[in-house]
Amino acid sequence: MDVVDRWTGQRACTLQAALRMTNEGFAGHLGVAVRTVASWHAEPSIVPRSEMQAALDTAYERAGEAVRRRFGALSRPAPSPVQPQALTVAIAIVLRGDEILLVCRRGSDSLTWQFPAGMVKPGASADAVAIQETHSETGIHCAVRERLGSRLHPVTGVIADYYLCDYLAGEAANRDPLENVDVTWVPRTSLTRFIPSDKIYSPIMAALEDA
């Protein structure tokens, strides 16, 4: 039998639930006023006086095995709810010689230049999404050269998975006018004129210097 080191209002109410008693019944069982039991429900953190601690000890010790099992089960913390998983977005850094492919996205109150990207649905491959979304947005066919890493995006809060890609074919065009207003190739040396350097994932800059 588990030993209760100290009774609180919450533990007393848990014993009441294990005994399946009403406030009136539990008060009578302990020999206290109904308002005392009601106060435990109102203030779960309250610590009853020493004589009440003893009365609760006695009630628990005299309870049947089934009651004590229910008390133990009710005392265990409820399992944490399943946490929603952060969305994952695959981002393609597409190179064509010394140029990088960018899209100009519509925001709620501004336009921003970004790399082509797409949401990764459950079961999908992030590198495949990077290729597919690049073509869907811009008409450009590309191939993944290497994965640059991932991070929790500091602005959007999504998991961003980055892929360095090589241009294969196609003419850049805005094929998603609802999301974007423009698509263009920019020189690598001019990238930070479109996207501030502090907004660019550092492995991207390292990869561009090595490319």
pLDDT for the residue numbered 174: 96
Residue 58: per-residue pLDDT: 93
d(CA 199, CA 184): 19
pLDDT at 85: 56
Give strand pairing partners of 104. 113, 182
pTM over 0.75: no
| pLDDT mean for each 10 residues of the chain (211 residues) | 83 93 92 89 90 92 90 79 71 96 86 93 92 96 96 85 97 93 95 92 90 69
Hey, how many other C-beta atoms are within 10 angstroms of the C-beta on 23? 16
DSSP state of 6: S
Q: Give the pLDDT score at 157.
A: 80
Q: Are strands 159-169 and 88-96 parallel, antiparallel or unpaired?
A: parallel
Nearest residue to 183 (alpha-carbon basis) of 119, 141, 134, 144:
134
Asked if residue 92 lies in contact with residue 134, where contact means CB atoms within 8 angstroms, the answer is: yes
pLDDT of amino acid 42: 86
Of 26, 36, 119, the C-alpha closest to 71 is: 26
Instruction: Phi first, then psi: give them for residue 40, nearest 5 degrees.
Output: -70, -35
Q: What is the DSSP letter of 200?
A: S
Q: Given this model, what pLDDT does residue 166 score?
A: 97
Per-residue pLDDT at 82: 53
* Phi, psi for 106 (deg, rounded to 5): -80, 130
pLDDT of residue 146: 96
Residue 139: per-residue pLDDT: 97
Q: Do residues 46 and 39 touch, judged by C-beta distance below 8 A? A: yes
